[in-house]
Amino acid sequence: MQPAPLAHEPIKSNPHTKEDDELMIDIDPGSVPQPSSAPSFPVLPASALRSTVLKSESRRIPIPPHRMTPIKKDWINIFSPLTEILGLQVRMNVQRRCVEIRTSKHTKDIGAIQKGADFVKAYALGFNVNDAIALLRLDDLYLDSFEIKDVKTLHGDHLSRAIGRIAGQDGKTKFTIENTSRTRIVLADTKIHIMGSFQNIKVAKDAIVSLILGSPPGKVYAGLRTVSSRMKQRAM
C-alpha cells in the first residue's frame, strides 16, 4: 500500500503585511534618530572660575547729611573691614555725599559687594560701627525699616508720645527690647530701623507695634519675657 499523502495546513496570510512592507519601504533610514552618548566637557581651569567670581561690580551708597560728620570720624573703622575682610576697594565721594565700593582682584566672596553695601547702609541709618560690622561676619543678619505711620496714623502730641513709649525713660524700653530680642534698634524721628535675624526682628517689631498702638510698657515687658523664655527653651 502506498502511504497517504501528508495534509498541509493552509498558510494564513496577514492582511497588514503588504501595508507594513510599503511603510517600511517609504521610511528614509537617514531620518531615524541615532542613539547619542552624553557629551563630555573638559574641566574648567581654576583661572576661569576665578574670572567669573571677580567680575567687576560697583555700588554707590548715599549718606544722609546728618551722618556725614560721624562717617568722617569713623572712616578708619569703616574703611578697614571693607578692605581687609571683604577685599573691596572703597572711596568717599564728598561732592555726591556717598560711599563708592567695588570689587577687586583680592575679592574672594561673590556676595562681598552686597555685604559691604549693607554694612555702609547700616551705618548711614544710624547703627554703631561695632554693631554694623556684624553684617560682615554673620550671614543671617538683616535690616528692616518702617515708619510709625505704617502702623497707625498719628499727629502732634500723639506721635510724640508714641515715640516716647518706644524709647522709654533714658532709653530703658528700647534697651529692654534690644536685649530680649537680641537685636539693635535705631529711632530716627518717625522711622524705626531694626537689625538682627529674621525671627528676632519679628519679636522686636511686634513689641514696637504694640507700643505704638498704645499698650503699656509693663504689658509689653511681660510678652517679651514669655517670648524670651520660649526662645531659650528652643535653644536648649
Establish if 28 belongs to a structural domain: no
Closest CA to 132 of 91, 188, 66, 77: 77
Under the banding of pLDDT at 50, 70 and 90, the label for residue 16 is: low
Q: Check residue 85 and report its DSSP letter.
A: T
**Whole-number Å distance between alpha carbons of 83 and 116:** 10
Task: Among 119, 139, 159, give the residue marking a domain's end.
Answer: 139
User: What integer pLDDT is reported at residue 50 of this predicted model?
Assistant: 54
Q: How many domains does the chain have?
A: 2
Based on the fold, state whether residues 193 and 229 are members of the same structural domain. yes
- Strand 98-102 with 89-93, pairing: antiparallel
Establish if 6 belongs to a structural domain: no
Task: Among 118, 139, 160, give the residue marking a domain's end.
Answer: 139
Establish if 79 belongs to a structural domain: yes
Domain with 75, as residue range(s), is 55-139
Residue 53 pLDDT exceeds 50: no
Q: What is the mean pLDDT of residues 108-122?
A: 88
CB-based burial of residue 14 (10 Å sphere; 0-12 exposed, 13-18 middle, 19+ buried)?
A: exposed
Based on the fold, state whether residues 93 and 159 are members of the same structural domain. no
Q: Do residues 107 and 88 touch, judged by C-beta distance below 8 A? A: yes
List, for residues 149-193, the tens digit of each pLDDT value: 898 888 889 899 888 888 888 888 999 999 988 999 999 888 999
Give the phi and the psi of residue 211 in degrees, each rounded to 5: -65, -40
**Whole-number Å distance between alpha carbons of 124 and 92:** 13
Based on the fold, state whether residues 99 and 132 are members of the same structural domain. yes
Task: Among 106, 139, 172, give the residue marking a domain's end.
Answer: 139
C-alpha cell at 196: 538682627
User: What integer pLDDT is reported at residue 169 of this predicted model?
Assistant: 87
List, for residues 62-108, the tens digit of each pLDDT value: 999 999 999 999 999 998 988 988 888 999 999 999 999 998 888 88
Residue 3 pLDDT exceeds 70: no
Query: How many Cβ atoms sit within 10 Å of the Cβ of residue 201?
Result: 20
User: What integer pLDDT is reported at residue 100 of this predicted model?
Assistant: 93
Establish if 11 belongs to a structural domain: no
Establish if 48 belongs to a structural domain: no
CATH number reported for the structural domain that contains residue 111 in this entry? 3.30.1370.10
Establish if 221 belongs to a structural domain: yes
Q: What is the mean pLDDT of residues 105-126?
A: 88
Establish if 214 belongs to a structural domain: yes
Based on the fold, state whether residues 60 and 107 are members of the same structural domain. yes
Q: Among 31-40, 80-89, 143-152, 209-218, name the one with the lowest average pLDDT.
A: 31-40
Question: Rg for the chain (alpha carbons), in Å?
Answer: 35
User: What integer pLDDT is reported at residue 118 of this predicted model?
Assistant: 92
**Whole-number Å distance between alpha carbons of 106 and 86:** 8
